[in-house]
Amino acid sequence: MAQVPKEHVRRRIVAAAAHLFAARGYAATTVASVAARAGTSTGNVYKYFAGKEALFDAVLPEAFARDVRRLTHARIVALGSARDVRELPRDARYHVVAGELLERCLAERERVVILLARAEGTRFARFAEDFGRALVSWALGYARRAWPEVPRSPALGFALSAVYRGYLRSLAEALMSLPSRPRAQAAIELLTTHHQGGLAQLFASLARGPAPRELAP
């Protein structure tokens, strides 16, 4: 047998990498610093991972990004397909981030942060941007049912995408900064309330009509 159980070290390396990637970003994190934080040597990291990229893949597998996308889409569809927000189960109301998605976000904080805000230099560099755009198109579909008069414009397209990206980033940072689970969840609910209140106000002002009774997702 070897002197330390392999799996133990591997986990320590992945944890160290996740922490540092989330804290400083992929590019600014050196393999040496990961090794140091994991309590091992630079060379040894390469016993477990083929290289820095492979280490990143272990921290943030493609499947994770897929899940985030899928779960988010599912939430939007669920919220949007309800004829009226009042039909939604009480605690799901207004919340894009709820259910399984919320669980994942809380359980895998660092991954969410990296995916949404620290992926510079990786294949997910554009994820937040692309995802923001996708969210906008999903959300616009829903919004048009409530406010059919909402016009199209480049500025609006940009603003919505920025708003969604900002929302996602905020979620990521909440997960990052609030180690206690209930606090993180509370913050997410506040952020979502803000996000949706903002969208409602935005669409209402564009439609020049009165604020709708029920809010956008």
Q: Which residues of 70-92 are buried (b: 16+ CB within 10 A; e: fewer)?
A: ebbeebbebbbebeebeebeeee
Q: Which range of residues in 1-9, 71-79, 80-88, 158-166 is near DNA by CB under 7 A?
A: 1-9
Task: Look at residue 136 and give the partner it binds from a copy of itself, DNA, none, a contact being a CB closer than 5 to 8 Å depending on partner kind.
Answer: none
Q: Are 35 and 41 in contact (CB under 8 A)?
A: yes
**Interacting residue with DNA among 17, 20, 22, 52 (CB under 7 A):** 52
Q: Are 191 and 175 in contact (CB under 8 A)?
A: no
**Interacting residue with a copy of itself among 48, 94, 127, 131 (CB under 8 A):** 94
Q: Which residues of 118-129 are buried (b: 16+ CB within 10 A; e: fewer)?
A: bbebbebeebbe
Verify binding: residue 149, DNA, rule CB under 7 A: no
The CA distance from 212 to 190, in Å, is: 20
Site of interaction with a copy of itself (CB under 8 A) = 24-25, 27-28, 75-76, 79-80, 85, 93-94, 96, 120-121, 138-139, 142-143, 146-147, 153-156, 158-160, 162-163, 165-167, 169-170, 173-174, 177-178, 183-184, 186-187, 190-191, 193-206, 211-212, 214-217
